[in-house]
Structure 1
Amino acid sequence: MHIAQNILDKVHQWLSPAFDEITQQEIKELMTSSPKELEDAFYKNLEFGTGGMRGIMGVGTNRINKYTLGKNTQGLSDYLKKSFPGEQLRVAIAYDCRHNSNTLAKVVADVFSANGIQVFLFSDLRPTPELSFAVKYLNCHTGVVLTASHNPPEYNGYKVYWQDGGQIVPPQDKEIIEEIEKLAYEDINFQANENLIQYIDKEIDDAFAASALENAGFNIPVSAKENLKIVFTSLHGTSIKAIPNVLDKAGYTKVQIVKEQALPDGNFPTVKSPNPEEPEALAMALALADETGADIVIGTDPDADRLGIAVRDNEDKMVLLNGNQTMIVMTAFLLEQWKRAGKITGKEFIGSTIVSTPMMLALGEYYGVECKVGLTGFKWIAKMIKDFPEKTFIGGGEESFGYMVGDAVRDKDAVASTLLICEIAALAKAAGSSIYQELQNLYADFGYYKEHLISITKKGMEGATEIKQMMTNFRENPVKELNGERVVFVEDYQSSKAKNMFSGEEEPLYLPKSDVLIYYLEDGSKICARPSGTEPKIKFYFSCNAPIEHTDEIEDTDAYLTEKIKHFITDLGLN
């Protein structure tokens, strides 16, 4: 096959003495055995997306390896020195269960220390939210976690956090990228100063657990906690290091762990995907729950920032909640607790994203609490906390199974969220109710909201081009009608404009630019299209709702809205 000259130039650069012999040998093997793979490994540089930088591990500029991460770290070191002149810089580093995470974390630590930066490196794998917590707890200037979240086993990643414990956001992300792009690979200083690398573990673990108990624990009767039967799975990930300990400290005695999935393993051998968004990932936990009569199933992704939940329905069968439903149950509970404690003063807020359920807005309005809505990704919710220090953050989430309680951690946090959902479940069970019934009651109060997600995978260079063309087509040929419902407004976050499709008038959008399109229909439905920032996918989010007066209406309303979404999908040509 023909490979473009600009790609070959990069390949030959990686065959220079600046790269070790193993790297050069792997490239030579690709040149003869797999030119297509070689092209994909070098056709672009890995970029920071919604959740940092993620990619397949291997040689090349479009891969996760010691050189791409070393260059990131050298550029970040240079940026820190410019941002904090004269200060003794401090950085915290964590890593998850993925292949090479521990060795890559040490490479990152080496580069930071070689640049005179004090490094606090976790001695073993830890949850991503614990890294966010550690950045603030240790008064660090920045933090890095090596993880690819729920991506397949061949992936790894690199997420950067700032002083507040939140991920980097504009303008810092672009400024850091500019520093990285100034560098040649020869500029990376890999010569570690071991005196500047300090290993951390128990002190941070204990403080992190105490923080979860403080933020997500409520005065639930001991008897209620002891009566709740919990099945928990870490899906071979890092949450095994934190969640059983936190539940034990909180007083939950009936916790069963899925033993086959308890050992951290980057191959994720018992699941097709270690993603609690996928029903199959919780199959073993659901089987154990049915065997033991458990009330609730909780599963987390490899770096323990997302959680999936299953609860018993009115027929005593285990059903999976989606991320929007979990977020609604948690937020409603927090708001009610704050209201009962007399803590709602008008200076509080909850957080959500533009692709999550609009029901969050209805909840906020009812309790007199502002619901701030940001772009996809928890870094934007963390930014809200930083941007509005005069306001108190209660909690917030996004549809992709992430939630954050309070502001001690500035990223989605499956550890505190697991405790929170157990508190809700224990209290509901003690009152003769359940999480499922509580959710139904919320629908009766606020209307029934139905959400659906379609993800279309397009891998490699051709896939990236296809996704880009799909978004171009939607912009150049805007949808005017779906299922007989006219499009009223179109929000284009790339152009930062919202257009009234009836009058043609345009208004500015005040969120940062992003490759996102949202259609609002005259019946209140909402459809969003966006390329994923972490995977080779384009995603379509559907949300519609209808008023109901009683929980008896839920089944028929769900069927009606499900059919409506099917027609939306057909009209968009996504079948």
Structure 2
Amino acid sequence: MDKQILDKANEWLTPVFDNATQEAIKKMIADSPKELEESFYKNLEFGTGGMRGVMGVGTNRINKYTLGKNTQGLSDYMHSVFAGRELKVAIAYDCRHNSDTLAKTVADVFSANGIKVYLFSELRPTPELSFALKYLKCQAGIVLTASHNPPEYNGYKVYWEDGGQLVPPQDGEIIKVIEATEYGAIKFEANNDLIEYIDHEVDEAFKKSSIENASFNTPQEAKDALQIVFTPLHGTSITAVPGVLESAGYKNVHIVPEQAVPNGDFPTVKSPNPEEPEALTMALALADKLNADIVVGTDPDCDRLGVAVRNNDGRMILLNGNQTMVLMTHFLLEQWRKAGKINGKQFIGSTIVSTPMMMELGSAYGVECKVGLTGFKWIAKMIKDFPELLFIGGGEESFGFMVGDAVRDKDAVAATLLVCEIAALAKAKDSSVYKELLQMYVDFGFYKEHLVSLTKKGIEGLAEINRMMVNMRNNPVQEINGERVIVVEDYKNSTAKNLLTGEAETMSIPKSDVLIYYTEDGAKIAARPSGTEPKIKFYISVNAEISSTDDFAEAEKQLDAKIKNIISDLGIQ
């Protein structure tokens, strides 16, 4: 056993930690050295979407002590930067095991530090926390969730006073304070006078805001004609999405009954992730039974959404995140144009691993498309950094979208309503969401994306991911699918190098462990370790011009073949 790991485990055998924790560690020391190693070999870190991990004892696990340490450090930081102000935080939690008790623990620590806490009385969607934080004029907010990770996970997302997740410099400053905090310094004794439970008032304000941002005077007859199948995948969206759709005038909403009740075991799916086609199997079956027009499924904390629509053959197909993003962005741009609201003082947002088609949309409508690092916290930061510009909407490939700035994170509540508006208006003019997408490919270029995600668990997996990134960084690919690589962007070193001329430019975007290759035929391949899961991801984008929707099928075959060849060339099957 590594002495450093054993020393860390022995620290958890002191009276600072409760008896149950100490007994669990003693059992691991005696019977499960591998589990002990996994539990203590590192401290849980903040990634793209906050802190996520397996629940259990140890520094590399989600438990009352790791979250208590986070909260104590955050409390100390808030007192230092907001000195003299009444400090307030909002806390929400999802359907995962222990989310409610962990949320109360976090509330207890904040209140013990003299901070007013608004705690949702029951589970609520993550986007509602972002809204509530601003609505209640809090300086920070916390959501207990692990998004779409497996059932054994939980997590801790931190939001700042603008409603967005932590970004520089606050994230680094807070992490330093947390790392310097001793477990014995955590104040667990609640001041219950400072904890206020919230529900109906915030719910109604959130619902009203969602409808104001994502509905566009769609005729009631168009809404009545749309048949919608919705599934919350056992998650929190059941508390918000059906009510928002009903209040917006959508009457034909059919909820998958087997998945309507929140359940942290997610018993009907392998993964509660709407990016995975399997997750929507039951919803698609119900849609075929009812001859529904559209299927929408959301992940457990209701920030991501998967959308399925009928193609020209009447078969339900699942759209990818890039497709839903460009559909919703185009619709918003068109609505703003029709209303005469585009005057050069607006922008849309995207990320470096998402479809380049977003740039084409912005250019076509005379609206700047700002591109940031992976994660909606960077889009939220754009809103804060450019207050002179109005944010129309934006997203990224990971099945998320942000409609306006009332919620400063991906928001499956407003996005579900928005995509239903698109579907209803398309059907009313004898079109469809699918046909609208194909016409966009004619108008703006046919961009096709594909994601390869390789899971590498544990200590060995992390080391392998690091080796892969080092190798790609030190030995950049010169040719992909018979096409020369002309530019390599290295976001860790902040350089963009032209391989044909040898010239290198310094990029101003914040550092991140991402590599992007651009080939001479316009293909784009990005590689990055996931910030929330034990995975390395490869994002492939290829494109072609088509002159009519009749050309789509043949062009898609050619692009599919190109993607297949790229995957083979890179050896990432």
TM-score with structure 2 setting the length: 1.00
| 1:198 partnered with 2:203 | no
Paired with 1:227 and 1:119, the residues of 2 have a C-alpha distance of: 44
| 1:129 partnered with 2:127 | yes
Partner residue in 1 for 2:431: 433
- Aligned to 2:391, which of 379, 390, 393? 393
Deviates more, 1:145-154 or 1:442-451: 442-451
Paired with 1:492 and 1:4, the residues of 2 have a C-alpha distance of: 35
Partner residue in 2 for 1:546: 544
| Residues 130-529 of structure 1 mapped to structure 2, 5 A cutoff | 130-529=128-527
Q: Once the 2 structures are TM-superposed, how far is the Cα of residue 145 of structure 1 from its aligned partner?
A: 0.3
Paired with 1:291 and 1:275, the residues of 2 have a C-alpha distance of: 23
Deviates more, 1:538-547 or 1:563-572: 563-572
Instruction: Name the SS for the 2:391 alignment partner.
Output: strand
| Matched residue type, 1:248 | E
Q: Once the 2 structures are TM-superposed, how far is the Cα of residue 380 of structure 1 from its aligned partner?
A: 0.3
Paired with 1:298 and 1:573, the residues of 2 have a C-alpha distance of: 34
Number of equivalent positions: 573
Instruction: Name the SS for the 2:188 alignment partner.
Output: coil
Paired with 1:186 and 1:109, the residues of 2 have a C-alpha distance of: 18
| Matched residue type, 1:401 | F
Paired with 2:269 and 2:72, the residues of 1 have a C-alpha distance of: 36
Instruction: Name the SS for the 1:510 alignment partner.
Output: coil
Paired with 1:300 and 1:290, the residues of 2 have a C-alpha distance of: 19
Paired with 1:74 and 1:342, the residues of 2 have a C-alpha distance of: 49
Between the aligned residues of both structures, percent identity stands at 71
Q: Deviations over 1:311-351 (max 9, x none)?
A: 01111111110000000110110000100100000000000
Q: Once the 2 structures are TM-superposed, how far is the Cα of residue 571 of structure 1 from its aligned partner?
A: 1.1
Partner residue in 1 for 2:4: 6
Q: Deviations over 1:504-553 (max 9, x none)?
A: 11101111100000000000100000000000000000001011101111
| Residues 60-71 of structure 1 mapped to structure 2, 5 A cutoff | 60-71=58-69
Partner residue in 2 for 1:32: 30
Instruction: Name the SS for the 1:158 alignment partner.
Output: strand
Q: Once the 2 structures are TM-superposed, how far is the Cα of residue 32 of structure 1 from its aligned partner?
A: 2.0
Moved over 2 A (4+): none
Paired with 2:562 and 2:419, the residues of 1 have a C-alpha distance of: 31
Paired with 1:561 and 1:420, the residues of 2 have a C-alpha distance of: 29
Gaps of 5+ in 2: none
Instruction: Name the SS for the 2:159 alignment partner.
Output: strand
| Matched residue type, 1:12 | N
Q: Once the 2 structures are TM-superposed, how far is the Cα of residue 33 of structure 1 from its aligned partner?
A: 2.0
Instruction: Name the SS for the 1:272 alignment partner.
Output: coil
Paired with 1:252 and 1:565, the residues of 2 have a C-alpha distance of: 39
Paired with 1:397 and 1:206, the residues of 2 have a C-alpha distance of: 25
How much is the aligned-residue C-alpha RMSD, in angstroms? Answer: 0.5
| Matched residue type, 1:252 | Y
Instruction: Name the SS for the 2:394 alignment partner.
Output: strand
Paired with 1:436 and 1:116, the residues of 2 have a C-alpha distance of: 53
Q: Deviations over 1:194-221 (max 9, x none)?
A: 0000000000000000000000011100
Instruction: Name the SS for the 1:297 alignment partner.
Output: strand
Q: Deviations over 1:432-489 (max 9, x none)?
A: 0000000000001111111000011111111111100100000111100011100000
Partner residue in 1 for 2:565: 567
Paired with 1:430 and 1:569, the residues of 2 have a C-alpha distance of: 41
Q: Deviations over 1:169-202 (max 9, x none)?
A: 0111010000001111001000100000000000
Q: Once the 2 structures are TM-superposed, how far is the Cα of residue 491 of structure 1 from its aligned partner?
A: 0.4
Q: Once the 2 structures are TM-superposed, how far is the Cα of residue 373 of structure 1 from its aligned partner?
A: 0.3
Q: Once the 2 structures are TM-superposed, how far is the Cα of residue 77 of structure 1 from its aligned partner?
A: 0.3
Paired with 2:321 and 2:572, the residues of 1 have a C-alpha distance of: 22
TM-score with structure 1 setting the length: 0.99
Instruction: Name the SS for the 1:394 alignment partner.
Output: strand
Partner residue in 2 for 1:91: 89
Paired with 1:482 and 1:242, the residues of 2 have a C-alpha distance of: 46
Q: Once the 2 structures are TM-superposed, how far is the Cα of residue 68 of structure 1 from its aligned partner?
A: 0.1
Paired with 2:95 and 2:34, the residues of 1 have a C-alpha distance of: 29
Gaps of 5+ in 1: none
Partner residue in 1 for 2:109: 111
Partner residue in 1 for 2:532: 534
Paired with 2:404 and 2:10, the residues of 1 have a C-alpha distance of: 50
Instruction: Name the SS for the 2:379 alignment partner.
Output: helix
Paired with 1:498 and 1:309, the residues of 2 have a C-alpha distance of: 35
Paired with 2:164 and 2:445, the residues of 1 have a C-alpha distance of: 33
| Matched residue type, 2:472 | F
